[in-house]
Amino acid sequence: MTLATNTADRGWEETRPTARLLLADGTVIEGEGFGAEGVAAGELCFNTAMTGYQEILTDPSYAGQIITFTFPHIGNVGVNEDDLETIKAAAASGVRGAVFSADVTDPSNWRATRSLDAWLKAHGIVAITGVDTRALTALVREKGMPNAVIAHAPDGEIDDAKLKAELAAFPGLEGQDLVPMVGATQRYGWDEGAWGWPGHEAPGVYGARPEGAAKKVVAIDYGLKRNILRLLTAAGCEVTVLPATATADEVLALSPDGVFLSNGPGDPAATGAYAVPMIQGVLEKSVPTFGICLGHQMLALAVGAKTEKMHQGHHGANHPVKDLTTGKVEIVSMNHGFSVDRESLPANARETHVSLFDGSNSGIELTDRPAFSVQHHPEASPGPQDSHYLFKRFVELMDGKRG
């Protein structure tokens, strides 16, 4: 099966396509190569966000995936150094490739420091343009997220046998612990606060932690995003980051007021093999705990719940989620291919948030320990600040104001 692209407008009847996307079901998509040259395999997903492509491409939660952008105008504001989400070099975000609809134009934004093409080349990310991304999204909705391989060769010489071999060798994401690919390997501190709107003399600045006594927070890095750390700091937290392999004894030795469990990629059950014992040790000491995304799934696993692979996942910045505690509906950013099975939640885990798209679980709170978590990304600001209250809720928990 071949998914046609708009070849008439491009004159591809005279020029060989320089990029190819091959799906596990045999679907072949041809287009123009963009970004890095080469071949990369990954799980194909789609993202419906209209803005934030740089944050998406540098979000470590996308490790092992090829991202299809449904919004056609990607790259038009270029790339800057402030909007990178990964703590490591951007290539360490783990994104395997990107699929775009329209040709990427030269950047037109006062914050841009280089083009998307140059940035993708510098960080080894293969991309393809000229694809009917809406049709590709419909295919993923119908059949689920397939394994795929993407290739870019400027001379049009693409080895189909090599593509098939790469695709066959890709194990998929189920059963895969991808946290070591993107997480921290050593302890470090963080003191940068939230970004402020530009003034007359500065192009935008990051704030500092508010004055006054700070809450000591240990953040566990499963693929931590920068803006999460910034909002923890802005909420009055003194943050120390530890690797995902940290033990409960190592965490507790820092005498934290609270523990934060970060976002991250891969199969939560695989990461839970070493992450769950640490979380259980922290919960036993009743240390206030807050989790986001993979951290939400880790907390659920730590109390005996199960996670499951989703059909198409949730990837976008327009997802409605209801906070069952307040009754309010938030517009949130989602990025996950696994979810917590609500039917497996134990009696001491109360569901606090639910997706209004498909009814899946989006948050829990423990009734016998000071701990809660959400599946979505409250720091991503799609609402734009609908979910920022969760950071305040965490501070209140550390103050003992919430049971």
Chain centroid, CA 371 distance in Å:
22
Active site (annotated) includes residue 353: no
> Is 379 in the active site?
yes
Angle between helices 268-284 and 294-302 (to 10 degrees): 60
Residue in 47, 105, 48, 111 with CA at minimum distance from that of residue 79: 111
Catalytic residue among 43, 293, 319, 365: 293
Residue (of 325, 321, 373) closest to 349 by Cα position: 373
384 cis-preceded (ω within 30 degrees of 0): yes
Q: Which of 64, 115, 68, 67 is nearest to 92 (CA)?
A: 64
Residue 62 buriedness (CB in 10 A; 0-12 / 13-18 / 19+): buried
- Catalytic residue at 336? no
Among 30, 43, 85, 379, the one annotated catalytic? 379
Instruction: Output the six-digit token pair for 171.
Output: 């194990």
What pairs with residue 237 in β-bridges?
215
Name the residue among 116, 140, 10, 1 with its Cα closest to residue 68: 140
Given a contact cutoff of 8 angstroms between Cβ atoms, the answer to whether 208 and 191 are in contact is yes
Residue with tokens 């189909």: 160
CA–CA separation, 353 and 325 (whole Å): 8
Q: Which amino acid is at 80?
A: N
- Phi-psi group of 201: left, alpha or beta (phi > 0 → left; psi -120 to 50 → alpha; rest → beta): alpha
For residues 210 and 346, give the distance between their C-alpha atoms in angstroms, rounded to a whole number.
38
Q: Based on C-alpha coordinates, what's the Rg of the chain?
A: 21
Q: Which of 152, 336, 377, 388 is catalytic?
A: 377
C-alpha distances in Å from residue 100, one per residue of 17, 120, 306, 339: 15, 13, 35, 27
Structure tokens belonging to residue 356: 């209004």
Say how far apart CA 152 and CA 129 lie, in whole Å: 10
Say which amino acid occupies 397: L
Give the three-state DSSP class for 384. Answer: coil
66 with 42: CB under 8 angstroms? yes
Catalytic residues: 293, 377, 379
